Amino acid sequence: MKNVFSVAVISGILNTMVGLATPFLYAALGETIAQTSGVVNLGVDGIMLLAAFTAFAVALFSGSLWLGLLAAAVAGLLLGLLMSFVSVTLKAEQGVSGIGLYMFGLGMSSLLFKILIGTVKTVQGFPPVAIPLLADIPVVGPILFRNNVLVYGAFLLVPVVWWLLEKTTLGLKIKSVGQNPAAADSVGISVDGIRYLSVCLGAVLAGIAGASLSISLLNLFQDNLTAGQGFIAVALVYFGGWSPVGVLGGALLFSVVNSFQLWVQVLGVKIPSSVAVMLPYILTIAALTVTINRMRQPAALNRPFERGET
Amino acid sequence: MVLEETILTPGKPAALLRARRAGTLDWSTVALNVALPVLGVVFALVLGAILLVILRANPLAAYAALVNGAVGTRFGATQTLVKATPLLLVGLGICIAFRANVINIGGEGQIIIGALAATWWPLAFSTWPGWLLIPSTMIAGFLGGAIWGFIPGILKARLNVNEILSTIMLNAVALQLMNLLLQGPLMDPAGVKARTFLAQSAQLPAQVWLPRLVPRTLLHAGAIVAVVLAILVYVFLWRTTIGYQIRAVGLNPHASRYSGITVPTVQALSLTLAGAFAGLAGTVEVIGVQHRLLEGLTSGYGFTGIVAALLGSLHPIGLIPASILFGGLLVGADTMQRAVQVPSSLVDALLGLVVLFVSGSALWSRRWAARRGIGAQRDQESGVESDRDSVRESGQESGQGSGQEEAP
């Protein structure tokens, strides 16, 4: 057990954590925007899967990672439009339509993968970029400042989403349709329009989350690549109390536990791997029970808006 | 503000009364409840065909292989029923949960825990005679699933934990639990002796195997059990007080609370029952089909069961044809993959589209019903709906819910 807590291992755990947190950050920050507008998009995992495939396939066939990333964002956007149409325009029960979107993404990504690619292939993902000076700081440097573009992007997104929601007019509108759509409607804000925008923005970020798995972290695609990470991202939004900083905390906590269990297995500590894999999920359930910031939950969350109804 | 209006509107009790009477047949509603899901399936199949054309596969050949696989042969047709059985059982649980406005995504995990219990029990009491062992194994599986439904239920009732998220997490926990046990205490001793270490349990004693209904097929007596239970669930939901409370909570939690129903308890109970039925689905898979526990036992029934339940309009009897349809789709998908090399995941994607379509069409059917005057007053009808939507929030943070709704 003693070598689990050596400096090398701890920095290894933290380094893995930063990578693992990346898809969660994109997906959960996107979901934060969608939920702030009052729409629960439970289909994040499906979007991530289809976008991960799209990014991988485009990168594989065109040789351009950036084109792959763009394609993933477009795939996310299209699925976001589908989700908004069903949940905002048709006012479907969001928990159910989200599951439909998930099943569609899961089946579709697997179908396209089997038809278009078929075998296990890998791509050369985004290379790590060392930030001059900062990367040379001992211990912290390699952990934080020797990562690839998508990892930096994920962490930069935290203040960006915070700024969007807290400091811009658009953010105010998003919050108002999430808190009191009738009032927002009465002052001329298009509730449906803002919700479409928020869901699509979230879906594009979920698409990038998928791409971060297939062309930056794992650099491959297989059936059910995400293994439910999209659902955990949704849970992180609740855990983080609908605040980007809270989501960051949740993503880091979840990832550090996950990273710890990976390292424990690598080091051959005698814990059955199933118990180790189970840990983060149990932690998530535990975290959901102690969520402190429930007061911040958008009042109209999960509630479709129809004029003259409330 | 939702709160005051909906509670004080005199029409509300009428909504509850209507719920009580919903057991009586209104043929045009039945027609709508059949037409919309069928339309959804057709819509998904058409989109699937377009997709196949784009992917340069022949949609006609693919669908012909699918239909042929599902009903073309005697074995295929019985396989359709074999797959429909767990779907029906899971779907019954989903019906109960969704009727109480609780979204149970935990079918997969509940199937696993039910299957674990149904494997352990007959192995532990392998000397019991069949007439005792079969029912007791079913009870064990039922209770196993019930525990896995009770956990999110009690978490929702006591700590306001969102059941969608907790059931999803519990799926992953159950899967790992099964892996752990299959690689440890439940691993087949024969496999250990032969040093193959397959992740599967020992074969169950033969007297616990469910009798086969058709010789040389896998169709087992569990199918009959499932149909009988469907009728029982119908009676439970429409002819008992608890069933009435479950439906009332789903239709209007606020009015239910004011009429003295303990909403969180009813919701926790419905989740527990949902888990129990999924556990039973795992049980019949183990003692009816596989005769042992092995990896991949759930085959996605936990999710497909949701689709079947939605397609059956959340009605236990409607679920019977719906689960046969999806059983057929699953069987046909495998044939299609073998015969014309179109991956069976096509059907998974189509199932997703069906869910999107059916959930999206609820608005149209509501408006249509309102126009026909079934809802009598459209305002109340939509009022019920907005309450249905708000139930999850008020369930989640009851402390905050009232304050917020009174504020404006």
* pLDDT, tens only, A118-156: 888 888 888 888 777 777 777 777 777 778 889 999 999
Of the listed ranges A117-121, A256-260, B1-5, the least confidently predicted one is B1-5
Q: How many CB pairs under 8 A join A and B?
A: 182
Q: What's the average model confidence in pLDDT over B65-70?
A: 90
Whole-number Å distance between alpha carbons of B43 and B311 = 13
State phi, psi for A301 to the nearest 5 degrees: -60, 135
Q: Please enumerate in sequence order all residues whose Cβ is within 8 A of that of A307, keeping only pairs 6 or more positions apart, or say none.
A: A185
Q: Are B281 and B115 in contact (CB under 8 A)?
A: no
Asked whether residue A198 is assigned to any structural domain, the reply reads: yes
Q: Are A230 and A68 in contact (CB under 8 A)?
A: no
Q: Where are the domains of chain B?
A: 2-18+30-406
Q: If DSSP codes are grouped into helix, strand and coil, which group holds residue B292?
A: coil
Alpha helices in A168-296 (DSSP H): 169-179, 181-186, 191-212, 229-239, 244-266, 273-289
Quote the pLDDT of residue A293: 54
Asked whether residue A305 is assigned to any structural domain, the reply reads: no
Which among A35, A49, A30 has a CA at the least distance from the CA of A101?
Answer: A49
Q: Are B223 and B84 in contact (CB under 8 A)?
A: yes
Query: Across all residues in chain A, what is the average pLDDT?
Result: 87
Quote the pLDDT of residue A24: 94
A292 touches chain B (CB under 8 A): no
Asked whether residue A209 is assigned to any structural domain, the reply reads: yes
Chain B residues with CB under 8 Å of A57 CB are none
* pLDDT, tens only, A187-238: 999 999 999 999 999 999 999 999 999 998 888 898 888 888 898 899 889 8
Task: For residue B304, give the chain A residue with the closest CA.
Answer: A103
Element (H, E) at A60: helix A44-62
Q: If DSSP codes are grouped into helix, strand and coil, which group holds residue B211?
A: coil
CB contact under 8 A, B161 and A285: yes
Chain A residues with CB under 8 Å of B362 CB are 90-93
Quote the pLDDT of residue A76: 97
Angle at A202 between CA A198 and CA A203, to 5 degrees: 115
Work out the minimum CA distance from B216 to partner chain A, whole angstroms. 32
Question: Is CATH 1.10.260 the classification given to domain B2-18+30-406?
Answer: no
Whole-number Å distance between alpha carbons of A225 and B349 = 16
CB contact under 8 A, A281 and B180: no
Q: Are A108 and B356 in contact (CB under 8 A)?
A: no
Chain A residues with CB under 8 Å of B386 CB are 303, 306, 309-310
Domain count, chain A: 1
Asked whether residue A301 is assigned to any structural domain, the reply reads: no
Asked whether residue A310 is assigned to any structural domain, the reply reads: no
Whole-number Å distance between alpha carbons of A258 and A281 = 9
Asked whether residue A6 is assigned to any structural domain, the reply reads: yes
Q: How many CA atoms are closer than 13 Å to the CA of A212, on its beta-carbon side? A: 28
Which among B51, B15, B25 has a CA at the least distance from the CA of B353?
Answer: B51
* pLDDT, tens only, A92-109: 888 889 989 999 999 999
The residue written with tokens 């349709």 in the block is A177
Chain B residues with CB under 8 Å of A86 CB are 356, 359-360
Asked whether residue A303 is assigned to any structural domain, the reply reads: no
Query: Across all residues in chain B, what is the average pLDDT?
Result: 82
- CB neighbour class for B72 (10 Å; exposed up to 12, middle 13-18, buried from 19): middle
**Strand boundaries in B172-317, DSSP class E:** none
Chain A residues with CB under 8 Å of B352 CB are 46, 100-108
Q: What's the average model confidence in pLDDT over B113-132?
A: 93
Whole-number Å distance between alpha carbons of B318 and B21 = 18
Chain B residues with CB under 8 Å of A183 CB are 408
Q: Are A172 and A187 in contact (CB under 8 A)?
A: no
| CATH code, domain with A169 | 1.10.3470
Q: How many CA atoms are closer than 13 Å to the CA of A129, on its beta-carbon side? A: 10
CB contact under 8 A, A93 and B57: no
ipTM of the complex: 0.87
Q: Please enumerate in sequence order all residues whose Cβ is within 8 A of that of A89, keeping only pairs 6 or more positions apart, or say none.
A: A192
- Of the candidates A42, A278, A299, which has its C-beta nearest B176's C-beta? A278
Chain A residues with CB under 8 Å of B165 CB are 231, 234-235, 238, 284, 288
Asked whether residue B287 carries a pLDDT value surpassing 90, the answer given is yes
CB contact under 8 A, A110 and B392: no
State phi, psi for B105 to the nearest 5 degrees: -100, 5
The interface residues of chain B toward chain A in range 149-168, judged by CB-CB distance below 8 A, are: 155, 159-162, 164-166, 168
**In the structure encoding, which two tokens stand for residue B194, read together?**
């032969």
Asked whether residue B329 carries a pLDDT value surpassing 50, the answer given is yes
Q: If DSSP codes are grouped into helix, strand and coil, which group holds residue A37?
A: coil
> pTM of the predicted model, to two decimals?
0.85
Task: For residue A96, give the chain B residue with the closest CA.
Answer: B359
Work out the minimum CA distance from B60 to partner chain A, whole angstroms. 17
B262 touches chain A (CB under 8 A): no
Q: Comparing A173 with B385, which gets the higher pLDDT?
A: A173
Of the pLDDT bands very low, low, confident and very high (cuts 50, 70, 90), residue A259 is confident
Burial B265-296, CB ≥16 within 10 A → b, else e:
ebbbbbbbbbbbbbbbbbbbbbbbbbbbbbee
List the single best residue of A53, A103, A224 to mutate versus B (max B Cβ within 10 A): A103
CA A226 to chain centre: 10
Q: If DSSP codes are grouped into helix, strand and coil, which group holds residue A192?
A: helix
Work out the minimum CA distance from B45 to partner chain A, whole angstroms. 13
Whole-number Å distance between alpha carbons of B13 and B21 = 12
B349 touches chain A (CB under 8 A): yes
A114 touches chain B (CB under 8 A): yes
**Strand boundaries in chain A, DSSP class E:** 129-130, 146-147
Q: Tell me the residue range of the domain where A157 lies.
A: 2-296
